[in-house]
Amino acid sequence: MRAVIVAIGVAFLVSLFCTPIAIKVFTRLKAGQPIRSDGPAMHQGKKGTPTMGGVVFILATVIAYVAGHLALTTLPDQQIAQVEPTITALVLLGLMVFSGAVGFLDDFLKVRKRNSAGLNKRGKLLGQILVGAVFGVIALWFPSTMTDATGRATNTETVGSTTLSFIRDIDFLEVSKVGAVIIFIFVVMAATNGVNLTDGLDGLATGASVMVLAAYALIAFWQYRHWCADPSYTQPYCYEVRDPLEIALIAGAAAGACVGFLWWNTSPARIFMGDTGALGLGGLIAGMAMSTRTILLLPIIGGLFVIITMSVVIQIISFKTTGKRVFRMSPLQHHFELAGWSEVNIVVRFWIIAGIGVAIALGLFYSEFLANMT
């Protein structure tokens, strides 16, 4: 627990104090956010606000991960296998960093061209597929080699699973490794685009991501405390996952980094996360769902992201089939802007929706544990 707390604290402080530096640097480099000409009129006042702020909390998360591992060196001997960096960390941080890199390229092109077009849809899609495929293969082909004092293997799990999962793996929903990688890619694409579409109002995506990441930190730490690889914990309701403490540490670090960034990103935002941050967070959240074996729980934990994504899908289908729009504008947050809601009201109310989704998901997770106990 101490390592997780250290990671959260370090990530928060690095993000809190480095974000003002990033604001000055990006302002000097004239890396201002281009604003869509067809967007809400009130957004024109945000033109020129520094973007690519996601660089800060991605970097803060990586630094905090290292700090958390330094705190792990005092763990008891039976837990020493958690001290060394793992494939789990490679997958989770890799998804965050390289998804963020795709977003950074998009942001860079927007700033350079001085318009909101950025990387074309095909290029962004190919980037997401490539990142998902590479880390999907790593997640499925590298099992853990944890052993006990006698040399007996205590954990041979991979980061991902060939079985679809809700709160645990669902045995009758097994697929091949290739099929699992395809699912991995789909989850990465869904999560990155979901967070990206949610970004658009000051602090909205950042605050929602804090809740989702905090939920995954709790889930992963609970799995660590009831881990099948722990020789002292053999109850039938333990969790068959790989490196849950590592997952909790990274989720906590990312949540702490986002809170530090939110200090400067809340209304009126002095910096935007940009696609760098949105895609980076989406990639990490996708990895959290895969590594904790809670893929089908993700749409509930990230309920706000799903609602906003569906508003775009509904708008496109309606317009192409009937020529009419269901919403004044999509994504959904802009519909309410045009309806006269203030930006702060929309953000706070959407945060409430995000919190409800997280609460329901955590309730389902814990109730399943209680059911298995009885």
Residues at the binding site for Mg(2+) are 196, 275
Cα gap 174→114, rounded to integer Å: 47
CB 101 within 8 Å of CB 293: no
DSSP category for residue 77: G
CB 267 within 8 Å of CB 43: no
As a 3-state breakdown, the chain gives helix, strand, coil percent values, each rounded to 5, of 70, 5, 25
Please spell the DSSP secondary structure of 231-291, one letter per residue: TT---TT-B--S-HHHHHHHHHHHHHHHHHHHHHHSSSPSS--HHHHHHHHHHHHHHHHHH
Cα gap 107→275, rounded to integer Å: 6
Cβ–Cβ contacts within 10 Å for residue 152, how many? 9
Q: What is the largest CA-CA distance in the chain?
A: 69
Cα gap 336→73, rounded to integer Å: 50
Q: Is 321 exposed, middle or buried (0-12, 13-18, 19+ CB in 10 A)?
A: exposed
Cβ–Cβ contacts within 10 Å for residue 99, how many? 35
**Which residue positions form the known binding site?**
196, 275
Cβ–Cβ contacts within 10 Å for residue 257, how many? 37
